[in-house]
Amino acid sequence: NFYHQAQYTLSAHNLSQLPSDTGREVAFAGRSNAGKSSAINAITQQKALARTSKTPGRTQQIMFFQLDEKRRLVDLPGYGYAKVSITIKQHWQNTLERYLQTRGSLNGLILLMDIRHPLTDFDKNMLLWCQHSAMPVHILLTKADKLSFGAAKSSLLQVKNQLSAFKTDSTDISVQLFSAHKATGVDEARAVLDLWLAV
């Protein structure tokens, strides 16, 4: 795999700072504390590529990681962090929405959900947007190690069932179990990235 080549490129605080919209990229989104940084680090086999932080929502920026000349991974700001002001929240909601709607090189969205709290209202909004814009989405149910194998499987099934409400002929939605701590599901996640990043 070439994910371990990922290199930090830049952080954008607004849309004018994005790298040029060419090639292919895949974005990671999810509620703050869902385990997004840990997942990006596990997938790229790098300990501190996306900073894992105990202060969720501290970094409100879109971070870009270059894989090669044509391909990028993108770390979107975690949503749902309660302690930032309404103004900042609205700024980020707008920025995120415009990024998702206008970014031509964006080929898919990895949506992370803590397996113990899947499908929050934020997650559902994100899924509706993906449905609306025919953006393929792959869900990682993170921290699967927090549940027994049986409980994790049953949660996976439940989420799968609920996802049928968001599926249309033109939307591709899939879901898997993931644990950054146990490195469970890393290959499965990379296989999806491989497809979306194929040039």
Stretch in the footprint of ligand GDP (CB under 6 A) among 9-17, 124-132, 137-145, 152-160: 137-145
Residue whose CB is less far from ligand GDP, 95 or 179: 179
Distances (CA, A) of 149 to 141, 142, 144, 177, 185: 13, 13, 8, 10, 13
Residue of 179, 185, 189, 197 interacting with ligand GDP (CB under 6 A): 179
Mark residues 44-73: x for contact with ligand GDP by CB under 6 A, - for none: --------xx--x-----------------
Q: Minimum distance between the CB of residue 99 and ligand GDP, rounded to whole angstroms? A: 18
Helix, coil or strand: residue 142: strand
Tokens (6 digits) for 112: 């992370």
Q: Which is nearer to ligand GDP, 140 or 173 (CB)?
A: 140
Rounded to the nearest 10°, the torsion over CA 112, 116, 117, 118 is 50
Our finding on whether 155 is near ligand GDP (CB under 6 A) is no
Nearest to 96 by CA among 58, 53, 129, 50: 129
Q: Is residue 142 close enough to count as binding ligand GDP by CB under 6 A? A: yes
Question: Is position 138 an interface residue for ligand GDP (rule: CB under 6 A)?
Answer: no
Beta carbon of residue 53, minimum distance to ligand GDP (angstroms, whole number): 5
Q: Per CB under 6 A, does 145 bind ligand GDP?
A: yes
Give dist(CA 76, CA 21) in Å, integer. 16
Q: In what order do the strands lie in the sheet with 173-177?
A: 7-12, 62-66, 71-75, 24-30, 106-114, 137-142, 173-177
Tell me: does residue 96 bind ligand GDP (CB under 6 A): no
Strand partners for 64: 10, 74
Residues engaged in binding ligand GDP (CB under 6 A): 30, 32-38, 52-53, 56, 78, 142-143, 145-146, 179-181
